[in-house]
Amino acid sequence: MNSLFADKLRQEKYWLTATMMLLWLCMCSGTIELLAKNFTSWIQINLIVHTITGGISAIPIFIYCAVHFKRTIGHKSSLLILSGLLMTGSLLVLIISGFWFSANGSSENTLWIAQSHTYGFYIFLASLTLHIFGHIYHRQRKRTLSKRRFMTLPQSSSIILMACLVFYLSGVTITSTLYTYMMIKKQPPLVTNYVYDYGDHPFRPSQTETINGTFIATPQIAKSKQCGSCHSDIYNQWLSSAHRQAASDPAYVKNIHLLEKTRGITATRYCEGCHAPVALLSGQLTPGGKHGGVANTSGHLEGIGCLGCHGISAVTHLNGTASYVFDPKEYYLFDSSERIIPQKIRNFLIRLNARPHKAAMGSSLLEDPKLCASCHEQFMDKSMNDWGWVKMQSEYSHWLASPFSGQTDNHFKTETSLTCQNCHFPLVKGQDPSADEDGFIHSHRSLGANTVLPTLNGDKIQLAETTRFLQNANILVDIEQPHRQDTIQSQQFIQEQLRPNDRDNTPFFLYLGEEAKLRVIVTNRMIGHAFPGGTTDINQAWLYFKVSDAEGTTIYESGRLNEQLELDKSAHIYHSIPIDRAGAHVWRHDLFRMVGDAYRNVINAGKSDIKEYTFHIPTWAKEPITATAILKYRKFNQRYARWALDHPKPVLPVVSMARDSLIIPLKINPPIYR
């Protein structure tokens, strides 16, 4: 019996030694994770080891527990039994929560599971210590041969455990050091013999900077598809957005090729800082390289990707033209790897500890309109137009001067300020790891006024969302009633103080045969910048005004499209006309020729524009007449659309943003006899 018992102890000793080796490494790595303040590469490698050793040790732990419980059933020491059960229970909690985390990762909604894993570790350490001291106390009381057998176990395994620990710490340290060294190497331009046509700065005339003052490797920027592996809802929204198509937009492709042909590829740096940051920052924009307008290149496919905004760490100034500092923000192992297994390791690390990821990608700068100013403000200087400094797009400045910024004393000021993000990245329902506790995420469709791209792509959802965005009552149209003096006069004497002063409730009418005048008021009530915004030289917003009689016969019409879909030249238009140094119209959006505007008509935020229409009312008109005013919008004017889209008659959506109608009675003007 003694021989059989000794054999069982010997077998159990081997199981215990193997189990303790794995468990010891798992405990050490887990302790390091608890004590770590920063999620460095060293800690990440340690976390991978912790996960692997924890997963592998689960099997021998269960086997050992089964063998050990079978042998110790009926043991009279309540301390050993209680500590053993407590230790087993805490191990079970650690194993279950550990496997759950490995499969699902951490989130705000499952914080209690993370806490159970942590507290389970503390309970396990306490119960293990109690169990060991209980054994020592129990054996010392008996003072038998079994004491020597028990003491030989830690003696024989301690050297192995310490050796494993030293080997583990050395291996992790060496691996993380080599990885860090590989990551800090400066990145050369993607194309050799990089040309500096605009001074010593590698990205001029774009205003872009990088965190280390050098080029950025393409995989460090063009990783939107990687982001989409977790953030699928946001990724799919972004795929439809104008940001995604900033470089592949056919109109942009046509213009960037024109710029390259006219001024050389180095001049395309001016545009690519905003439209194709991948091409600019990687060092493609030099002779021998390819700009973002070239199909199937990284810059073309990415456009303004996830890192195009989330990779910006600061805004250098508010004059725009890509005035930002780019920081790759690589906090995880294999952050820029394009291979499947390293990508899975990186995603696994993010799931287990998303705090650095959230801190990097959820910067407060993303909520600041200054971030938008880095590209939605624009200027051009002598290096590009051979003339001088010219201001172009100015959305941030217009917002800053608007009632919605909270920065003015404007009487139209709202109770709370509204930012660019409030309108263009609103909260919507979404299934995404970044969703708040109510299940809302920020829409990444970046809705604006671009109806051309979803039309060309056949993207009905994006077109419908853009149309809805344009028609959400931010602009109002109102036809002023034609009040007349003779409608509030009579031959009967009435004291002045008894006369009604409310003109809105007095009757109005027009006479047959007279020259009538109607005023149309267009109010920019809720757009946070001037209307129209953006590329006002090629955008087309106008008033369509029509007067017809009771039988539907047209009496007067302005703002109609002809058979070639060109706008009536008499229409009241909101746009700008840029000119070059010779005074010629710069109609192809080749802004490197622009030196100023010959004409500019926009409506600032909180302001109104008044257009007065004069028309003759024929004597044959049947009363009442109906006046209709519609504010219409088309992304491109027809002349530019024909050139940019290479089509003789492009059919682009015309959105009716706001309208008003007024029914007006007609009267016969009585003759005046003298």
The position carrying tokens 């880095």 is 374
Q: What is the Cα–Cα distance from 183 to 187, expressed in whole angstroms?
A: 10
Q: What is the pLDDT of residue 344?
A: 85
The backbone torsions φ and ψ at residue 531, rounded to the nearest 5 degrees and listed phi first, read -115, 135
Q: What is the pLDDT of residue 27?
A: 72
Q: What is the pLDDT of residue 49?
A: 79
Q: What is the pLDDT of residue 609?
A: 97
Residues 646, 649, 650, 652, Cα dihedral to 10°: 160
- E-strand stretches of 166-280: 209-210
List, in sequence order, every residue forming a beta bridge with 377; answer none if it has no partner. Answer: 394
* Residue 621 to residues 512, 545, 549, 616, Cα–Cα distance (Å): 7, 18, 6, 10
What's the Rg (C-alpha) of the chain? 37
Mean pLDDT for each 10-residue chunk of the chain (674 residues)?
A: 52 62 70 69 77 77 73 69 80 80 70 77 80 73 50 50 59 61 63 93 96 89 90 95 97 97 96 97 96 96 95 95 91 79 84 83 93 96 93 93 81 68 94 87 96 97 97 95 68 56 70 95 94 96 97 96 95 96 95 94 95 96 96 97 96 97 91 64
* Residue 98 to residues 30, 51, 102, 347, 372, Cα–Cα distance (Å): 11, 8, 6, 16, 42
List of domains in the chain? 2-183 (no CATH), 209-394 (no CATH), 462-486+503-667 (2.60.40.10)
Q: What is the Cα–Cα distance from 549 to 620, expressed in whole angstroms?
A: 9
The backbone torsions φ and ψ at residue 375, rounded to the nearest 5 degrees and listed phi first, read -120, -25
* Residue 48 to residues 38, 91, 111, 182, Cα–Cα distance (Å): 16, 19, 20, 20
Contact between residue 553 and residue 540 where contact means Cβ atoms under 8 Å apart: no
Which two tokens mark 414? 């709202």
